[in-house]
Structure 1
Amino acid sequence: MSSKVRRAGLALFAATLALAGAAYGVTRAPAANAAVQLTGPQLVADMGAGWNLGNQLEANANGIPSETAWGNPVITQGLIDRVKASGFKTIRIPVSYLGKIGAAPNYTVDSAWLTRIQEVVNYAYNSGLYVLINMHGDGYKSVGGSWLICDASDQTTIKAKYQKVWQQVATKFASYNDHLIFESMNEEFDGQYGNPTQPCYSNIVAYNQIFVDTVRKTGGTNASRWLLVPGWNTNIEYTTGSYGFSLPTDTNRSSSIPSGEQRIMISVHYYDPWDFNGQEDGNITQWGAAATNPAKKSTWGQEDYMDSTLKKMYDTFVTKGYPFFVGEYGSVDKTSADPANNTYRANFAKALVATAKKYGGATAYWDNGYNGQYGFGLFNRSNNTVTQQGIINAIITAVGSTPPSSPPVSPSPSRTSASPSPSRSASSPAGTGACKVVNAVSAWNTGLTNNITITNTGTTAINAWNLVFTLPAGQAITGGWSATYSPASGTVTATNVSYNGTLAPGASTTIGYQATHTGNAGAPTGFKLNGSTCS
């Protein structure tokens, strides 16, 4: 899928948004635990459900990478916590380098950009998730500043630049365990849809070989790390068929890898049928055997096609010890044309994930951060709330897991492991300075989530607190995070937990809950913090 299509509406914002700031905060060290080397089948099973942090680190403005250039906010630990709490175990983080690469012969990558990449990787990696990073927009002819062009004339320069960039990235992450996976590139092809051309495909194969050799030679865990390589445009037919793809050799890998095992995965994407999954109109809104309106259903690309297509990956690669990874799949929101569309989007996601699992592959849903007409978003990245619980449930169920009934969010950036169950602070509420409260409600059908940001606007610290508020009639809290809640309806008291009980002057904390409602999804009212009325 092209970069332009993948933006799904966010491009409207690109012209008016400035580059992200240069200051990104302190980078945490990688988790110290060593991961046991896994075989291909073990790896796929352990990766579970995957999700893409799309339109962020691969976004750019005039060829300069910027995580806010395509309309998304700055990435936070809170977002990653929400994704993990929703049941995902793997996060793919697309990355562009473009204008952040210096001149020949060293092609030095901007140190602040590498630091920011590492910081975002750490948000997920230090939480125990699998993380995949790639070279994403550098190979699109439609992207300003792109250079990894397989049919360009000066391949000697391109290959030298490619080698130097991956050498720097691999060195940066050489101490990270096998929960970090490198992907050589993204949808690399000559930009023309149709049968692959030569020698363009030969150059793609050469890039993959340079990538594997370069990463392995940097040593550390890189010598045994799982690596991910694509064929022509990550297309399954052009990767499994006789069109020019060949696997890279892996002669520089660690001797610790058993001779009969591989450490290379194959990258593919799946958006078939495109008229349902990506075409921005309201004509085809249903998919699969459960579709009720033949006029709204594509004439191809249903369950049987999906099964036979993914089976090609099994026959060609998995039987030889190479697992595959569907690094992107998903469907845009067409509920404006068909209110039932989300049901079919969930059905498609569930079928794709289950079929890939059946044939030895892992998956990652494409989320571009855009919610609304023709968006792929599952989460609101501005307030870290779920927007498509039904699709998430379908994905988590398809990998054989149970979706959390009330996913918590760890609010503390310093927490690097699964959060323990919240407990009441041992302290008694003290300090009644002025306060401000902001609600962020996201509702669906008969449910909602609300994140409440509490700010101490007074001049003295608040040490331990409780927040009293009144829910609208018909609402009942079913679960919450970052506070304890009692009772579930009516006038509720939220009491701080151990890690957010102190609010210095000007400091804020965010708590939240999920609730059911009977038609009124409004925000609570009448907030009082330790007895003081909040604005």
Structure 2
Amino acid sequence: MRSMPWLASVGAALVAVAVSLCTVMFTAIQPAHAAVGLHISGTNIVEANGQKFIMRGVNHPHVWYTNQTSSFANIKALGANTVRVVLGSGKRWGPSTDVANVISLCKQNRLICVLEVHDTTGYGEDGAAATLDEAVNYWISQKSALVGQESYVVINIGNEPIGNTNAAQWTSATTAAIQKMRGNGFEHLLMVDAPNWGQDWQYVMRDNAQTILNADSQHNTVLSIHMYAVFNSAAAITDYLNRFQTNGWPLVIGEFGWRFSASEVDHETLLSEAAARGLGYLGWSWSGNTDPILDMATGFDPNQLTTWGQRIFNGANGIKATAKQATIYGGATPTVTTTITPPPSGSCRVAYVMNTWNTGFTANITITNTGSSATNGWRLVFSLPSGQTITNGWSASYAPTNGQVTATNAGWNGNLAPGGSTTIGFQATHTGNTAAPTSFTLNGAACQVA
């Protein structure tokens, strides 16, 4: 429209008409709003420079443990590129008036900050919960700390904003919240959680996703699903993710737990599918849960990772294996070591800890190099008693799943310095025999059993 050589051959009147029409057309077809900082491109979250950013991180319950500021550095040190920070609007928790400090902690530790208001959890079913509109009012009150941070901060308007009572109200409430945020000048990437306590088992978010995305004048909203017991099978997970992928809707897994019992989320499928599809995920949660089964670090201590903590940070498709730092901080790619150097004979120790229930168990295996030279890759061999079968594992690969099993190191934990250790684990079924293996060898050398 800016180059029309044929205009030179027509009269002055036609030139004037053509220029006038061009002006009208140019005015009518305005370019889309130029995204500021983190934004949506197709189904992806991208940075201001267009580089795709895939969230790999965890949730931190900051509003209840405001003194645990070292958690940001500890989460980063374990490989995360994102932290979702729990804040309070003052309706039920908080108010969190330290938003500027939280953002500073994220930036100091080169983490993307997802900030969420937790007071909205279960509205309509929980009488103490805040509305999404009240959550937006909180964000408006904190606007001075947020403006200018669009490359570092995602605003998750409200956590699990509708319970199981009248979940259909989620669509209008979420639409209004997005429009109020934009009407008040926020240009950040917005994240919206599903109803049904985040799990969307009535498919309100899935079936109204396009309505929500259309409500954003800046087309800069990502949908967030929380995966717990509703998603306890591979079929449930893949079907849900397929619907969003097929329709081209941006999605992240904003919370999820692990399969500590057969009725819980199939975290192995979740992690592998997220990696294969390039979906972001944020596990729940770093520490401080009233039910400690979902704690990743005991007492906020990064040196005391739980089974869940070891799995999400150090396991296959986990944070260390797949996270890339945001390019605004300088990107980083994980490295993998494959060469195997055996330890000297008798230079290893194994501690095997089981947690059993009626038909299954989990096992944590801590391998310690008690020799004088480092390993550069390892294989741990042990025999499972009759009737025991591994169903999934973390921090190593396991083959076969019963009888004599070989556990082979993951890419991140093959190097064991003298005195160094690593913890691996698996979940298994049993038919009544819950005995532990009696012996272990590491790269052919017998280990002491602690």
SS in 2 for 1:366: strand
Corresponding residue number in structure 2 for 1:91: 57
Pick from 209, 213, 222 the counterpart of residue 310 of structure 1. Answer: 209
Shift in alpha-carbon separation, 1:132–1:195, aligned structure 2, 3 A: same
Q: CA shift at 1:165, angstroms? A: 0.2
Instruction: Compute the displacement of 1:192 (Å).
Output: 5.7
TM-score, with length taken from structure 2: 0.56
- Give, in angstroms, the shift of residue 470 of structure 1: 3.3
> Could you tell me which of 382, 387, 407 is aligned with 2:316?
407
Q: 1:399 and 1:517, CA in 2 relative to 1: closer, same or farther beyond 3 A? A: farther
Between the aligned partners of 1:485 and 1:240, the Cα distance in structure 2 is 44
User: Aligned to 1:209, what secondary structure does the other structure show?
Assistant: helix
| Whole-Å separation in 1 of the counterparts to 2:129 and 2:429 | 55
Q: CA separation in 1, counterparts of 2:362 and 2:122? A: 44
SS in structure 1 of the partner of residue 351 of structure 2: strand
- Computed over aligned residues only, the root mean square deviation of the Cα atoms, in angstroms, reads 5.5
Does 1:183 find its partner at 2:72? no
Equivalence for 2:107: 174
Is the contact between residue 430 and residue 463 of structure 1 (CA under 8 Å) also seen in structure 2?
no
Measured after TM superposition, the shift of residue 400 of structure 1 is 8.2
TM-score (norm 1): 0.49
State whether residues 39 and 220 of structure 2, in contact with CA within 8 Å, keep that contact through their aligned partners in structure 1: no
Which has the larger strand fraction? 2
Query: What is the identity percentage for the equivalent residue pairs of Structure 1 and Structure 2?
Result: 18
Query: d(CA) in 1 for partners of 2:72 and 2:64?
Result: 14
Contact preservation (8 Å) 1:478, 1:515: yes
Q: For the structure 1 residues 523 and 483, does the alpha-carbon distance in structure 2 shift closer, same or farther, using more than 3 Å as the test?
A: same
Aligned to 1:362: 251
Equivalence for 1:13 = none
- Report the alpha carbon displacement of residue 209 of structure 1 after superposing the two structures with TM: 2.3
Distance, in Å, in 1 between the alignment partners of 2:126 and 2:355 is: 45
Q: Distance in 2 between matches of 1:471 and 1:388?
A: 23
- 1:21 aligned residue: none
In the alignment, what sits opposite 1:159? none
The equivalent of 2:32 in structure 1 is none
For residue 330 of structure 1, the aligned residue among 227, 231, 240 is: 227
The answer as to whether partners of 2:122 and 2:161 remain within 8 angstroms in 1 is no
* C-alpha spacing 1:487/1:165, structure 2 compared with 1 (3 Å): closer
Of 145, 152, 160, 1:225 maps to 152
CA distance in 2, matches of 1:351, 1:191: 27
In 1, are the aligned partners of 2:348 and 2:446 still within 8 Å (CA)?
no
Residue 207 of structure 1 aligns with an amino acid whose one-letter code is Y
Q: Against the structure 1 CA distance between its residues 492 and 240, is the aligned structure 2 distance closer, same or farther, given a 3 Å change threshold? A: closer
2:94 to 131, 147, 157: 147
- Report which stretch shifted further, 203-212 or 516-525: 516-525
The aligned residue for residue 85 of structure 2 is 134
- Structure 2 match to 1:239: 173
How many Å apart are 1:185 and its aligned residue?
Answer: 1.8
For residue 320 of structure 1, give the secondary structure of its aligned residue in structure 2.
Answer: coil
Q: Matches of residues 165-314 of structure 1 in structure 2 within 5 Å? A: 165-174=98-107, 180-188=112-120, 204-216=135-147, 222=149, 224-230=151-157, 234-235=161-162, 236-241=170-175, 246-248=180-182, 262-271=187-196, 301=202, 305-314=204-213
Rg bigger for which structure?
A: 2
Task: Confirm whether residue 123 of structure 1 aligns to residue 78 of structure 2.
Answer: yes
CA drift at 1:453? 1.5
The alpha-carbon deviation at position 420 of structure 1 amounts to 0.7
Please give the alpha-carbon distance, in whole angstroms, between the structure 1 residues aligned to 2:100 and 2:257.
Answer: 28
Structure 1 CA distance, aligned partners of 2:122 and 2:340?
Answer: 59
Q: List gaps (5 residues or longer) in structure 2.
A: 1-35, 48-53, 163-169, 281-314, 325-331
- Where 2:98 maps in the other structure, the secondary structure is helix
Distance 1:121 1:421, change over 3 A: closer
Give the drift of 1:424.
0.5
